Each structure stands twice: as C-alpha cells, then as structure tokens.
Structure 1
C-alpha cells in the first residue's frame, strides 16, 4: 500500500497554534462508518453519542517537561536536549541540537548545575545517550528546569503548560500528549459517568516515534518505535464486563486504541499486563479491542492517519478530512476532534 494514498493538502492556517480557553469548546465531527454519514457538532455533544453501558478508555500518561536548555561544561556552547526514553538507570535516549557538538564524554550543564548530563554514546537517528547526574528526585528537577516539548508545527509559546496535559494525567513518561483527551474537563467526565457510561484508564507513554514521518514508499516497510503500556486489573475487568453486556468500547485517542489492540491481539481478552508495543495499524487490520474511536485530526501520510483509515475506511476518512478542511476545522494537537463509530 502506497504512502501517497494518505496524503492531502492542509492550509497552514488550519493548524491550531493555541488551545481554546474552554477545553470543551472544540468542534466535533461525528462519523458513522457503516452509514458513511457525517455530522458537524460541538465537543459537548459527545454526550449525545455515548450510550449507557459504553466504556470510554482514557490514556492517563503525563507529558514530561522533556525539553532542556543547557551549556557545554568545557566551552559554554548552548545545547538543546529533548528526552525521548529512559534506558537503564539514569541513562536517557535523547535528541540534541547541535548534535555535532556533543560527542562521547561531553558534559552538559543545566540550570545552576542542578542537573548535569554526560554523553555515553550515540543512539539511532543521530540521537545521543545521556547519563544524568543530579541530587534528589529526577522528575522534580525536570519540573523545575524543563519545558513542555510542543510539536514543531506549533510556533506559539504556551503560557500555561498544564494545557498540554489532560485533566486526568497521572503517570509521567510521555514525550507528547495523548491529545484526544485534551477536550475533556472533570465536569464533562462526571456528566459522562452520570449517563451510565463507564470510564476506564490505561497508560501508554507516547514516544516521538509515533509522529515521525513515514520515510518509505510502501507502508508495509515502515517500522514503529516501541512504547511502554500498562493496564490494571480494574480496567481489564471493566472492559471485559462492558463487552459481555453489549456495551461499546470507545478509545479516546490512537494511543488508547493501540494499547487495547495490542492486549487483545496478544491475550484475546483484556487482562492486567504491561509491556512494550510497536503495533502498526493500517488498512486491512482487523480490530479486536475497540468499537469506537475519539481522536483529533492528524498529519498527512502519518501512521496515525493510517490507523484512522483502517478503522473508518480509507475512502470515507479521506472524504471526512476533505469535509473538515472545507468547514475550517482546526487540526492537530490543539485542534478539533472526530468521533468514529
């Protein structure tokens, strides 16, 4: 299958640069994949589309303030570091700029020396392995020194970093937000529960590999980066019970969808487990874990575009995207949402 099948022209002004003041004020495109029907709604109308007995699955991963600005200990040269994934101990896979200035043995100093990093090797794709030296708790040091790693298509500064976190974020570890969940407030989630809809949580720590462009011509050649996931016994029981009683399982975001599909593919049921997934979902995939998907609008030719096309049908989804562009929906992380059922 050719990557070009998932391409489309997106006017730059439709890329949302800032979040709306009210999280729930986004628009919602409701898509019925069986009837191939589309409805333009607002996000609070999601309540009208959910039914008692359904189970909404949210990813409670929290974004690390993973962008750090430091200087080389030897020369004072400015270095930018983006944390990608923690390896053994306090060694992290990172992207650094400018990479040519950071060789094995280079020491980078952040803040007033609260954090120091020593390059202990190279990583794939031109990255660097950095060993962190600090006193106290690493995540607390990071909260003080780090910045939120907003995607490159967002040019505006984000005054309130919590707006790039979901209101239910709990477990730190993501390099990017599970953005479909940004539309929910605690009040809206209480209304969802009051309707008889179950709310369950999984964790998948989002890696930047999810957003890397597909650089091969045919999608079957593309390899996904592994991401850590976890499902609790409580969530597994809730999901299995909902399915037994005829309720729909609706994933909030592609990260939730990939976690549920990984677990169902491996165990044929939902169960308490954790591990690493590199599942790549594209048209032709047979879904086992979800009945609905709530998600934002994705980049052309991205693996996320391929996932939604697998779920909704390529032609229907490309038509839905063309409709969204005509109707001036806002795209990407701070943009509007779609519900595919």
Structure 2
C-alpha cells in the first residue's frame, strides 16, 4: 500500500464553499452542474499544474457519475471503504455497479436519480456538464465521482453536497476538487499494473502524495437555474439513465404519477419499440440493446395523461 498523507482541509465536503445567494423554497429546482478539469503537469503548467510528473499520453477522464439522494444514503464517504461501484469507477471507469447501487437506493426511496455525463474531450483538461438537473427537496444531496485515467484507483469525488440551506435553494457553489485514492489498488504510477490492495483501505486524499502536489485538479461549479412549481412536480419528475447507454435504460418517475407507456422512435419517426407499464410502478427498465447505434426519441406517458419526450443516444 502506498504511503498516504491525509489532508483533511482539502476534502471537498464543501464546508468551506461559499453560498453566493439563495432563492425562495420550492419542492423542486433545476441546476446545471459542471466539472472543469485543470489536470496538467508542473512542467507544462508551472502555475496551475498539479502533477509532479508528466501525464501519460492517453490521460483522460471517465464519465462523471453520481446521484441526488437523502441523508439515509451514502454513495461514497471519505475515510470509509469504497463500495463496489466506486471501486469500479476509480479503477476501470466502469459505471455498471454504481448505477445498480443507485437503483437500489431509488428502490428503497433513498435516492431520486442516477446522474451521468461524458467529458467534452478525451483529454486531461476538459469539462463534463450535467444540464438542467431536477433536484427534489426530498433528495437534496449530491454525490459525484469520476476516474482519473489511467491510474490504479484514483478519482475525484464529492460527498453529499446539500443544495438546500434551511428552507431555500442554494443558488451557486464553486468547489475546488482534489484527487483521491479509492483504497483498492496499490499502484503508485499512472500506468501501474493491477496490484489489488488486501485488505482494502479507506478512501483518502492524494494531496502532496506522488504524483500530485497540493493544487486542485479541477473545479466543480453548481448553478441554480430555476424553481419548478409545486403543481408541475408530477410532470417533471422523470429520470432516464444512463444516457448515452449501451441500450439498457432505466426510467424513474414519481410514486404519485408513475409512467404508463413508453414509445421509442428513430430519427425518421418510425416507432421501433413500445413498452406498457401495466403495474404502474415508478421504475421501468428498457432493453434497446438490439437497436442500432444512433439517436432515438423516447416518448413517456404518465398516469395523469401528460406526456414528454427525451432524446437518447445508443452507442
């Protein structure tokens, strides 16, 4: 196991972040959440570079993934052991296990939605954005993670950022993020081979632990867009994920207004699939793995006779 220096003041548990302004309380609010990476070497960027060695030629990030949830859920926690989902994100950039963990939290009414966004470029300095994310007052906490790739088990992460401040929605947060070790692999270099840590160790900071110095690796920006009126709650509370996907998709709606039917169309307007939710459950899994790669339109009908459409991408 590599030597770890724990820098508590650098943990992005968000106590030191500035709340700029607030808005009136509502049941749901829309946010845009963006992580901008500053990952670079000191040689290439002497002022902001956070790596004391040159980055590998294939340096990049895995998708930014996470969930909105309540206090009963913990997707990850600094100082605690990584879940299987966080382990797979940190080691492999694989999101299947964490998506299943979030779905289990949704089923137990501890989470509201799974979040996933790809980075703009296959590069160390790039941005991933979650646009117009609808956050419920019942699930106001935000947790996110992404793999620093390649690496043994290194990642950026935030744990349970509260988007509520008393009876109001937080309007703006800007959070410097630092690298973490998931505690599941003992490699010490970007391209170290697999060296499983036995037993697994808690998630710890990599500030001033080679190959990183004490500078942030990026900034997470959370921006309030608008409140969503109480009477609109049943209409807007629909999550479809992951997107893009390999064809296996999940749709989650509110318990009071579940989905009744889903229709899937190609870009030419031809219906390729139709799913009927006879049990009126708030979760439905769609299997579109037989569809060709491309863009599709999903039309979702809800119990109160409202409907909406969402665009999906199948890889």
TM band (smaller chain): under 0.3
Q: Give TM-score scaled by structure 2 length.
A: 0.27
Instruction: Indicate the structure with greater helix content.
Output: 1
More strand per residue: 1 or 2? 2
Q: TM-score, normalized by length of structure 1?
A: 0.25
Structure with greater contact order relative to length (CA < 8 Å, sep ≥ 6): 1
